[in-house]
Amino acid sequence: MDSLSLSSSIRILPPQLADQIAAGEVIERPASVLKELLENALDAGASRVDVELKLGGMDAIRVTDNGFGICGQELPLAISRHATSKISRLDDLLQLQSLGFRGEALASICSVSQWEIRSCQRGEEAGYAMRYDQPGQVHEINHAAGTSIWVRKLFYNTPARRKFLRAERTEFRHCDEVFRRMALARFDVGFYFKHNARQLQRLPAANDAQARSRRVSQLCGENFLQNSLLIDFPRGDMRLWGWISKPGYSRQQTDLQYFYINGRIIRDRVINHAMRQAYNTCLGPGRHAAYVLHLELDPASVDVNVHPTKHEVRFREARLIHDFLIRSLRESLQTGDAVQSEYAPNGVMELPPGYRGQETREPPYVAHRQEALAETECFFGQIQAVLLNRFVLTQSSGTLYLIDVSRAQALMSVQDWQAACQANQLKQRPLLIPQRIALDAGQRSRYERAQDLLTHLGFDLGQAGPGEIILRAIPIWLAGFDGQRLLQALLDADIDEQQSFAVIRQQLLLQQYDFATVDLRHWLQRVSQRREQLADCWRELTQTDLQDWLRLSSSHA
């Protein structure tokens, strides 16, 4: 035993420190905060939830709901440990309908952030607020019925934890996934999502089949929707419904597998096993099915309190559920009924004649057709129009997107070029006709000094004559841009490699990208994969935006 533990005496931890330690178990990153706040909002019976993040949730997370609210006296209780309004007896645990029940989420979150809670109970006049710098002090405010919780500067007081946070993009991705899971859990609730003041999702409550399919398309991609079967199997007091990928569609990862039991997402061995069995012969090696499935059953027949993060469950009758899943899924996969919606399958692979589901050997061509499909997956959907040689208007189900091709390409080019440069993996494209570039006196002397740098950046240059250089090849990332203009901009200042990319970025953003020879559909897929990094290159338009705009322009005419 070391001297430290010998000399120290046992003490009760101060409550704040105990909360911070406990927070480590529940609150790992912004996404965990978001999950808890969303669960609370849903538990409060909200029909609309608004999420707003800054900097991937590291700077701020705000969740606003229109649920039943918290009354003034109970505000301080809500943030104290083991305070919950959701269970009072052990029996309640076995019949759990709500998502949270441990009563420690808010206490944990509040111990590691600069928080503020504002709430107004349904039917009450006044709302109440409380914040981190004066905990316990409740003051009256105006607030619509419901609750909004701000969580700013997560882990500001626990630097060791803050260090584990990743890049904004990564933290955002986790939050985005939490949001997607919740929005797929509760179609009857409207979900709205903003990041850095940009509206990313607008999902009004989806109360009919068509609206639900639209939401699936918005969250999981139009391609998944078009390649899925809508199923619904009621059986006794159980019901299995949702979207499952057709036998011909598969994914490289298990990233599109959402399974809910009574509205709670779960990852469970029994369920996973049943799903794999059901798809058994439909999937090539290393391929995975995709699904959004809801299993509804009597809450008493499933125990969700097995695991602290509550993704695992224990079934009373696991076998029964396992077999019910397999039977329902196989039946759908064999008959292959199409999704009943306006989203008529479009370029969807049909099963080969005579295909009999699990009895058939795997059709050899399935694999490469799957690849082809995976490639065409695009968040932005189909191209509707190209405007001003610079913007594309696309549509994915009901949503329109306007994408600035030039800006997006400039940013992608710079990122890729810089990465390749750092990794010493430059690629050049020779010019069909080498270009002569006249340099002024200043540029000429800078060219002498910058030759190595320019070669390092991937330009192939030579001396052409007095005061002239010749450009023979450009880095491929400049294709579609004016390489000569860029080169001159680079020679207008004394720069090093780091600075050169700042100049390149600035210069390419000024130029107009020539995409005449570009396969725009393919291009759009690349942008769709990087849409978070390119957030300021596209925006969502509602039909109303467009209609307003048309009305506006016609009234001006």
Q: How far is CA 141 from the centre of its chain?
A: 34
Q: How far is the CB of 104 from ligand ADP (least distance, A)?
A: 6
Q: How far is the CB of 78 from ligand ADP (least distance, A)?
A: 3
CA distance 543 to 214: 14
Q: How far is the CB of 389 from Mg ion (least distance, A)?
A: 51
Q: Which of 96, 101, 290, 528 binds ligand ADP (CB under 6 A)?
A: 101
The stretch near Mg ion (CB under 5 A) out of 14-22, 98-106, 377-385, 462-470 is: 98-106
38 forms part of the interface with Mg ion (CB under 5 A) = no
Nearest-CB residue for ligand ADP: 100
CA distance 193 to 231: 28
Among 312, 309, 244, 253, smallest CA distance to 278 is for: 244
In this structure, what is the dihedral angle of CA atoms 139, 140, 145, 151, given to the nearest 10 degrees?
-30
480 forms part of the interface with Mg ion (CB under 5 A) = no
Q: Which of 20, 32, 40, 370 binds Mg ion (CB under 5 A)?
A: 40
86 forms part of the interface with ligand ADP (CB under 6 A) = yes
Q: Which does 403 bind (CB under 5 to 8 A by kind): Mg ion, ligand ADP, none?
A: none
DSSP run (H or E) holding 210: helix 209-220
The stretch near Mg ion (CB under 5 A) out of 95-103, 160-168, 269-277, 432-440 is: 95-103
85 forms part of the interface with ligand ADP (CB under 6 A) = yes
The stretch near ligand ADP (CB under 6 A) out of 103-111, 275-283, 295-303, 457-465 is: 103-111
Q: How far is the CB of 102 from ligand ADP (least distance, A)?
A: 5
Two tokens at 458?
Answer: 């991937």
Q: Which of 100, 221, 248, 475 binds ligand ADP (CB under 6 A)?
A: 100
Size of the site for ligand ADP (CB under 6 A): 24
Token look-up 């301080």 returns 76
Among 30, 27, 118, 115, smallest CA distance to 67 is for: 118
Nearest-CB residue for Mg ion: 100
The stretch near Mg ion (CB under 5 A) out of 93-101, 281-289, 369-377, 406-414 is: 93-101
DSSP annotation string for 323-375: HHHHHHHHHHHHH-PPP-SS---SSPPPPPTT--GGGSPPPTTHHHHHHHHHH
Among 271, 327, 319, smallest CA distance to 295 is for: 271
100 forms part of the interface with Mg ion (CB under 5 A) = yes
Q: Which of 28, 47, 55, 102 binds ligand ADP (CB under 6 A)?
A: 102
The interface with ligand ADP within residues 232-261 (CB under 6 A) comprises none
What number of residues does the chain have? 557
Q: How far is the CB of 65 from Mg ion (least distance, A)?
A: 12
Q: How far is the CB of 184 from ligand ADP (least distance, A)?
A: 20
Two tokens at 430?
Answer: 């020779």
41 forms part of the interface with ligand ADP (CB under 6 A) = yes
| CA distances for 115 relative to 60, 135, 140, 277, 543, angstroms | 9, 10, 17, 46, 36
Q: What is the DSSP letter of 71?
A: -
Q: Is 65 helix (H, G, I), strand (E, B) or coil?
A: strand
Among 304, 216, 316, smallest CA distance to 268 is for: 304
Q: How far is the CB of 41 from Mg ion (least distance, A)?
A: 9
Q: Are 176 and 34 a contacting pair, CB within 8 Å?
A: no
Two tokens at 91?
Answer: 């029996």
Q: Which lies closer to ligand ADP via its Cβ, residue 69 or residue 483?
A: 69
Two tokens at 24?
Answer: 């480590």
| CA distances for 394 relative to 39, 377, 402, 403, angstroms | 33, 14, 7, 8
The stretch near Mg ion (CB under 5 A) out of 32-40, 226-234, 341-349, 371-379 is: 32-40
Q: Which of 20, 32, 66, 84 binds ligand ADP (CB under 6 A)?
A: 84
Count of alpha carbons within 13 angstroms of residue 227, beta-carbon side: 27
105 forms part of the interface with ligand ADP (CB under 6 A) = yes
Residues 6+ apart with CB under 8 A from 184: 215, 216, 219, 220, 258, 260, 292
Among 39, 102, 95, smallest CA distance to 67 is for: 39
Q: Which of 23, 70, 151, 408 binds ligand ADP (CB under 6 A)?
A: 70
Q: How far is the CB of 319 from ligand ADP (least distance, A)?
A: 32
106 forms part of the interface with ligand ADP (CB under 6 A) = yes
Q: Are 330 and 359 a contacting pair, CB within 8 Å?
A: no
Other residues' Cβ atoms within 10 Å of the Cβ of residue 471: 19
67 forms part of the interface with Mg ion (CB under 5 A) = no
The interface with ligand ADP within residues 138-157 (CB under 6 A) comprises 147
Q: Which does 65 bind (CB under 5 to 8 A by kind): ligand ADP, Mg ion, none?
A: ligand ADP
40 forms part of the interface with ligand ADP (CB under 6 A) = yes
Q: Which lies closer to ligand ADP via its Cβ, residue 84 or residue 418?
A: 84
| Euclidean distance between the first and the last CA atom of the chain, given in angstroms as a whole number | 86
Q: Which lies closer to ligand ADP via its Cβ, residue 69 or residue 248?
A: 69
Q: How far is the CB of 125 from ligand ADP (least distance, A)?
A: 18
Q: Which lies closer to ligand ADP via its Cβ, residue 30 or residue 67?
A: 67
Token look-up 């003041």 returns 197
Two tokens at 23?
Answer: 């927070």
Q: Which does 131 bind (CB under 5 to 8 A by kind): Mg ion, ligand ADP, none?
A: none
Q: Which lies closer to ligand ADP via its Cβ, residue 26 or residue 274?
A: 26
What burial letters (b/e) apply to 414-429, b meaning 16+ CB within 10 Å? bbebbebbeeeebeee
The stretch near ligand ADP (CB under 6 A) out of 47-55, 98-106, 485-493, 507-515 is: 98-106
The stretch near ligand ADP (CB under 6 A) out of 40-48, 89-97, 270-278, 391-399 is: 40-48
182 forms part of the interface with ligand ADP (CB under 6 A) = no
Two tokens at 13?
Answer: 């931890």
Two tokens at 446?
Answer: 């800078």
Q: Give me the residues that bind Mg ion (CB under 5 A), please.
A: 40, 100, 105
Binding site for ligand ADP (CB under 6 A): 36, 40-41, 43-44, 65, 67-70, 78, 83-86, 100-107, 147
